[in-house]
Homo-oligomer: A and B are copies of this chain.
Amino acid sequence: VLETAVRVADEGGIEALTMRNLAEALEVEAMSIYYHVPNKEAVLDGVTEVVVREMLDATPAIADPEDEEGWKRAMRAKILASRQVLLRHPWAPAVMETRKALSVAVLEYYDGVLGLFRAGGFSYDLAHHALHALGSRAMGYAPDSFEPDTDDPGHDDPMVLLGAMKERFPHLVEMLQNVSHDAPGATLGWCDDQTEFEFGLDLMLDGLDRLRRSG
Please tell me if the beta carbons of A175 and B114 are within 8 angstroms of each other in the complex.
yes
Please tell me if the beta carbons of B146 and A101 are within 8 angstroms of each other in the complex.
no
Closest CB in chain B relative to A15 CB, distance in Å: 12
Please tell me if the beta carbons of B149 and A101 are within 8 angstroms of each other in the complex.
yes
In chain A, positions 173-215 with a C-beta closer than 8 Å to chain B are 174-175, 178-179, 188, 191, 196-197, 199-200, 203-204, 206-208, 211
- State the copy count for this chain: 2
Query: A168 on the interface (CB 8 Å rule)?
Result: yes
Residues of chain A having any CB pair with chain B under 8 Å: 94, 97-98, 100-102, 104, 107-108, 110-112, 114-115, 118, 123-125, 127-129, 131-136, 138-139, 142-147, 149-151, 165, 168-172, 174-175, 178-179, 188, 191, 196-197, 199-200, 203-204, 206-208, 211
Partner of A133, one of B150, B178, B199: B199
Q: Within the assembled complex, what's the spacing in Å between the Cα atoms of A127 and B139?
A: 25
Please tell me if the beta carbons of A111 and B145 are within 8 angstroms of each other in the complex.
no
Contact A168/B108 with A128-B179, A132-B196, A175-B114 known, Cβ cut-off 8 Å? yes
Please tell me if the beta carbons of B132 and A200 are within 8 angstroms of each other in the complex.
yes
Partner of A143, one of B97, B112, B169: B97
Please tell me if the beta carbons of B94 and A171 are within 8 angstroms of each other in the complex.
no
Partner of A149, one of B102, B136, B165, B170: B102
Partner of A129, one of B129, B199, B211: B199
Please tell me if the beta carbons of A101 and B147 are within 8 angstroms of each other in the complex.
yes
Closest CB in chain B relative to A159 CB, distance in Å: 18
Contact A133/B203 with A111-B172, A168-B107 known, Cβ cut-off 8 Å? yes
Please tell me if the beta carbons of B199 and A208 are within 8 angstroms of each other in the complex.
no
A-B pairs with beta carbons under 8 Å apart, 25 shown: A94-B98, A97-B97, A100-B147, A101-B150, A101-B151, A102-B149, A107-B172, A114-B175, A118-B171, A124-B178, A124-B179, A127-B175, A128-B175, A128-B191, A132-B142, A132-B196, A133-B203, A135-B142, A135-B144, A135-B145, A135-B200, A136-B145, A203-B203, A203-B207, A203-B211
